[in-house]
Amino acid sequence: MGIQSAAESTKVLYLRNHSNNYVEKAVQTIDEFRDHITPRYDIIVNNPWETEEDLSETLIFLSRIPTPYLLNLFSLTFYPATDLYDKAVEDGIIKDDLNDVYRATYNVQADGTSGGLLGETYMNNLFYLVYVFALYGHDVTEKIMSMLVARKNRPIMSRVMYFFMRQKASILLKKHLFAEIWKSVVANDQNRIKHWFHDEYARD
């Protein structure tokens, strides 16, 4: 399900006039069928008009969603002949269609099993923390998330909390990696072993 954002100003930008309560009810309905299908939720990041406060709204909202689930993160993509594209051109965000639109990627890349993303902002790394924890059925509680997003008001506490949460995310990823490699070794599946060493974890 495409949540995209829980920030009110961003939902207006995306022409999504539903309330967060409505989305929460939809999430609860989806969660009832988790034994048959894994819940998947989409979030858009790298929106140049979003503030840290907007992103915090979405992160706090995600902290209330029952785990496990798969969180898909996509960078905002500007499609020509759309209102968002026109706004981006008008605001000077798009200067070169070839590089800013057609060659731009909508994917974000994990930094191996470090628990972080490559070349992404602190707030985007918080979304990745949610992704890792939710994938393995762990919660980033609303209380913890409130501390993580409070960089301006509680800079020391937020940094300390982020350090420990990222270490835990790294441990979860490494445990999963080693478990998959061990399965492949036991099954003597050489192709699968190569896959795990050359996939997103290869940087470790």
Q: Which of 151, 146, 132 has the alpha carbon at shortest distance from 69?
A: 132
pLDDT of residue 185: 78
How would you write the pLDDT of the chain (204 residues) with one tens digit per residue? Answer: 899 999 999 999 999 988 999 999 999 999 999 889 899 999 999 999 999 999 999 999 999 999 999 999 999 988 898 999 999 999 999 888 888 887 777 888 888 778 888 878 999 999 999 999 999 999 999 999 999 999 888 999 999 999 999 999 999 999 988 887 777 777 777 777 666 666 544 444
- Can you tell me which residue has the tokens 């902290």? 63
Q: What ranges do the domains of the chain cover?
A: 2-76+108-198
- Can you tell me which residue has the tokens 């993160």? 73
- Can you tell me which residue has the tokens 């020509």? 80
- Can you tell me which residue has the tokens 């979405």? 58
Residue 184 one-letter amino acid: S
User: Is the Cβ–Cβ distance between 5 and 84 less than 8 Å?
Assistant: no
